[in-house]
Amino acid sequence: MDGGRRAFLARNLLLSFFFSVFSSRLKLSTAQMVPAVFVFGDSLVDVGNNDYLPVSIAKADFPHNGIDFPTEKPTGRFCNGKNAADFLAEKLGLPSSPPYLSLSKKKDAPSYINGVSFASGFVVSCVFPNFIPGQSIPLSKQVDNYIAVQKILFQQMGSFASEKHLSKSLFAIVIGSNDIFDYFVSSDLRKKNTPQRYVDLMANTLKGQLKRLYETGASKFFLTGIGAIGCVPAERVKNKTHEGSEERNFWSDKYNEELKAMLKGLKSELQGVNYSYFDTYSIMQSVVQNPSSYGFNEIKSACCGLGDLKAEFPCLPVSKYCSNRSDHVFWDLYHPTEATARVFVDTLFDGPSQYCVPMNVRQLVST
């Protein structure tokens, strides 16, 4: 783990704010495109699960996170406002899927009907040797948690209705960036795996978890590739010319190729599976190359942080933040702003085949 990430993890604040919205509606309202959305993955889509991990320091429960959220308070999202999971739910006509841990702690029967978020900041898709216990919810555990929810839905709705409900629901998985970051900071990982072997391992591990979801009712999958993570402020600041890391971009791209091939294989292996793959890497390149056409002025610097590119010191309560959050691509060292999340979700939902393979989310949920 490098200095930036360690510093980011090493913050320690007691203030925590729990935000959750859930609906107990049992019928599909006309605006709803799917009965539910189940979200898995990392900090790009975490809506507050990590706030409930007692020993985790990988939390975003402190200012200035949440400054542009409707409540203007930190919510556990690693963002100034809403993140991609919120905008995806909005597009589907659903409330944001509440954090699983906020519901499982409730004594009264929790509502899982419109979906649940299992996502957890700093999670990786592969097990890696310097994994620190308790910091995030491993993907396999996220799937275990889903299976617990599936059992409850089965009891509440019966087998026929719950199977139908789940087969029409969307399963969104956003993971992999942390694996690539970790590979380049862990000499142990590099000693044990060539980069090619490592990205193969990532795709295969993910495939195993997708199969478990399929076996317990999922059939519509939405997956994102990794973005151009060599271009995040944390990487650019390491380079005097602020060009970022070509190597990290190269291996993100390689992983994305493995992921696409894996998904194609999965669809041919498992009957009834449909998926949409979003090419986060390409849309990020497009934003970085033509920022103004997306409404951005600042593609390199973080909005919240301190030092060069506001990336020498993470986004903490003592950090400075930019006055206009809608013209910055990046909120902090690693995470996009709400404005960027909105561009991504608009594109993954209705975008062309250049970004959405073999179909966009609207097409996926309409079949």
Ligand X SMILES: *[C@@H]1O[C@H](CO)[C@@H](O)[C@H](O)[C@H]1NC(C)=O
Least separation in angstroms between residue 33's CB and ligand X is 13
* 326 counts as binding ligand X under rule CB under 6 A: yes
Question: Is residue 125 annotated as a catalytic residue, yes or no?
Answer: no
Q: Which of residues 168-187 bind ligand X (CB under 6 A)?
A: none
User: Which tokens hold the place of 298?
Assistant: 């600042």
Among 130, 239, 290, 354, binds ligand X (CB under 6 A): 239
Cis peptide before 358 (omega within 30 of 0): yes
Nearer to ligand X, 103 or 223 (CB): 223
Is 241 a residue that touches ligand X (CB under 6 A)? yes
Nearest to 229 by CA among 213, 248, 216, 242: 248
Stretch that binds ligand X, among 22-30, 41-49, 131-139, 321-329 (CB under 6 A): 321-329
- Choosing from 20, 42, 43, 282, the catalytic residue is 43
Contact window for ligand X (CB under 6 A) among 151-159, 192-200, 238-246, 258-266: 238-246
Q: Which among 95-103, 241-249, 298-306, 349-357 is the span making contact with ligand X, rule CB under 6 A?
A: 241-249
Q: Should residue 285 be labelled a site residue for ligand X when binding is judged by CB under 6 A?
A: no
Does the footprint of ligand X cover residue 324 (CB under 6 A)?
Answer: yes
CB of 291 to ligand X, least distance (A): 9
Q: How far apart are CA 240 and CA 166, in angstroms?
A: 50
Distance between CA 276 and CA 163 in Å, rounded?
21
Residues 260 to 279 in contact with ligand X, rule: CB under 6 A:
272, 274
- Residue 34 DSSP one-character state: S
Q: Does 158 engage in binding with ligand X (CB under 6 A)?
A: no
Task: Determine the Cα–Cα distance for residues 361 and 367; give it in Å rounded to an integer.
Answer: 10
Q: How far is the CB of 153 from ligand X (least distance, A)?
A: 19
Contact 196, 254 (CB under 8 A): yes
Q: Which residues contact 156 (CB under 8 A, 6 or more apart)?
A: 162
- Tally Cβ neighbours within 10 Å of residue 281: 21
CA distances to 1, 134, 184, 318 from 61, rounded to whole Å, are 22, 17, 28, 14
Q: Which stretch in 97-105, 142-150, 234-242, 343-351 sits in contact with ligand X by CB under 6 A? A: 234-242
- Active-site annotation holds for 187: no
d(CA 89, CA 95): 6
Please tell me the distance from the alpha carbon of residue 67 to that of residue 314, in angstroms, as a whole number.
16
**295 lines the binding site for ligand X (CB under 6 A):** yes
Closest separation in Å from C-beta 331 to ligand X: 14
Cα–Cα distance for residue pair 264/28, rounded to 1 Å:
31
The 3-state DSSP class for residue 200 equals helix
φ/ψ of 4, rounded to 5, equals -60, -45
Choose which of 125, 169, 178, 219 interacts with ligand X (CB under 6 A).
Answer: 219
Return residues touching ligand X (CB under 6 A): 219, 239-241, 243, 246, 272, 274, 295, 297, 324, 326-327, 367
Active site residues: 43, 332, 335
